[in-house]
Amino acid sequence: MRLRYTHRTLMSPAGRERLDLLFVTVFPASPARYGAQRRIHGILESLSRRHDVTAVSLVGPDMDADEARRAMSAYCREVVLVPSHDEIGWKKRAGQLRSLASTRSYERRLYDLPALHEALARMLTSRPFDVVQVETPYLANYRLTAAPPGARRPARVVDQHNIEFDLVRQMAASRLGLSRSVFNGVNWPKVRHEETVAWRTFDGLLFTSALDESRARALVPGVRSAVIPNAVDVRFFQPSPSDPPADGRTILFFGVIDYFPNSDGLAFFLRDVWPRVAQRSPDARLKIVGLRPTPEVLAHRGPRVEVTGVVDDLRPHLASAEVVIAPLRVGGGTRFKILEAMAMAKPIVSTALGAEGIDVVHEDNILLADAAPDFADGLVRLLADRELGRRLGRKGRALVEDRYSWDAVTRSLEAFYRAILPS
């Protein structure tokens, strides 16, 4: 496999100490089209204004490597893209079946690639890094302590977008069918073992919420960690006079549709909530935006349900929607869909878990509802009372400006890096 490199020189501003940071990811950070990408892109792009950022990323066969390289080169000193072999369909099922007899998790096997080992070894011995951050514990098995002769080894950090084993455990307990439940039931203890080994051996951990951090510390007391919440580019996501106006009837869901927490939440909404809303609000329309819509979701397309697939720019869809939903029932971390909708001053109806980790207040800057009748009631209220929606939207925008901008979040991250650097 051929590795792709780009390089650009970054001048250090006078009087400012710059760190040399290496990020290792399972997909390119940019262009950012879904939640996990948005977190990595936001952190890297913000840090690059004050530090030297290098990225080594896997790139799947369904991705445009040249587009990713160009986008990441806008803020990275150097980019290395390593081709990966995404498993889908029967290949994924065969890989999962083989993994049942292995002591390693399916995900660990999937991401353990000789080309990535080689790229990291070459990168780490070519120049010293202060910090190496991996964007999932599934990459924690790589040797990341190498350094040029005489140089200090880098501090190693795992960014926990979720507590991964708990997500797999929740999938095992859900109604996905017998074969998937059996696979996830066997797989999640393996993921837990691998994940907690990383927690014990790495220099630092990042969590997106205090709740996830407390869950990890209950299993591995004494870990060095920081809460670095998901955030939003408040300059990019903001209301604009040129936006299409809210249409008074569209309910918007957006996200990667085949990601289990999203597909499960949509199934709940389409089965239990949407019929109630459609009956009580005859003009209501549902729009579903995002990558890889599933056959189950596509089956609901019709005059009142639109499924767009991926879009180049989410903002016009947010602007024209009357209300945004986050009907999630499983998962961890914090939800970009909440933060981005708030940044666009849109009212939101969410489950409590969907808004977990964000300092929202029911009836002040969001409506929270877990039961289907209550969720439907919130949507009907907002479709009928547009002033309520505007008030929730203004309060939501103020919240993200104050607490959830990338600049504010990465200042805290820089302080954590300096605290864990080897002496």
- 359 vs 237: CA distance, rounded Å: 19
Whole-number Cα distances in Å, 383 to 45, 193, 283, 395: 37, 47, 9, 18
pLDDT band (50, 70, 90) for residue 13: very low
User: What was the pLDDT predicted at 152?
Assistant: 94
Residue-wise pLDDT tens digits, 411-422: 999 999 999 997
pLDDT band (50, 70, 90) for residue 408: confident
- 78 vs 28: CA distance, rounded Å: 13
Average pLDDT, the chain: 91
pLDDT band (50, 70, 90) for residue 243: very high
Least confident of 94-103, 186-195, 287-296, 311-320: 94-103
Residue-wise pLDDT tens digits, 21-67: 999 999 999 998 887 899 999 999 999 999 999 999 999 998 999 99
Structure-model confidence comparison of residues 16 and 191, the more confident one = 191
User: What was the pLDDT predicted at 393?
Assistant: 98
Least Cα distance to 232 among 361, 359, 335, 368 occurs for 335
Least Cα distance to 167 among 227, 224, 105 occurs for 105
Look at residue 82 and tell me whether its pLDDT is greater than 80: yes
Mean pLDDT value of segment 225-235? 94
User: What was the pLDDT predicted at 89?
Assistant: 67
User: What was the pLDDT predicted at 314?
Assistant: 94
Q: What angle do CA 290, 299, 174 make, to 5 degrees?
A: 75
Q: What angle do CA 385, 389, 390 make, to 5 degrees?
A: 115
Look at residue 280 and tell me whether its pLDDT is greater than 50: yes
Beta-carbon contacts of 108 under 8 Å, excluding residues fewer than 6 positions away, are 138, 141, 190, 194
Q: Which residues pair with 368 in a beta bridge?
A: 350
Which two three-digit tokens encode residue 54? 């290098």
User: What was the pLDDT predicted at 180?
Assistant: 80
User: What was the pLDDT predicted at 44?
Assistant: 97
User: What was the pLDDT predicted at 237?
Assistant: 95
Look at residue 158 and tell me whether its pLDDT is greater than 80: yes
Residue-wise pLDDT tens digits, 341-388: 999 999 999 999 999 889 999 999 999 999 999 999 999 999 999 999
Least confident of 93-97, 252-256, 389-393: 93-97
User: What was the pLDDT predicted at 184?
Assistant: 84
Whole-number Cα distances in Å, 340 to 9, 64, 284: 32, 25, 22
Least Cα distance to 249 among 176, 191, 322 occurs for 322
pLDDT band (50, 70, 90) for residue 87: low
User: What was the pLDDT predicted at 413?
Assistant: 97
- 206 vs 204: CA distance, rounded Å: 7
Look at residue 226 and tell me whether its pLDDT is greater than 60: yes
Look at residue 171 and tell me whether its pLDDT is greater than 90: no
Domain architecture of the chain: domains with CATH: 4-231+406-420 (3.40.50.2000), 250-403 (3.40.50.2000)
User: What was the pLDDT predicted at 12?
Assistant: 36
Whole-number Cα distances in Å, 72 to 42, 231, 376, 410: 11, 19, 41, 18
Q: Which residues pair with 80 in a beta bridge?
A: 5, 56
pTM across the whole model? 0.79
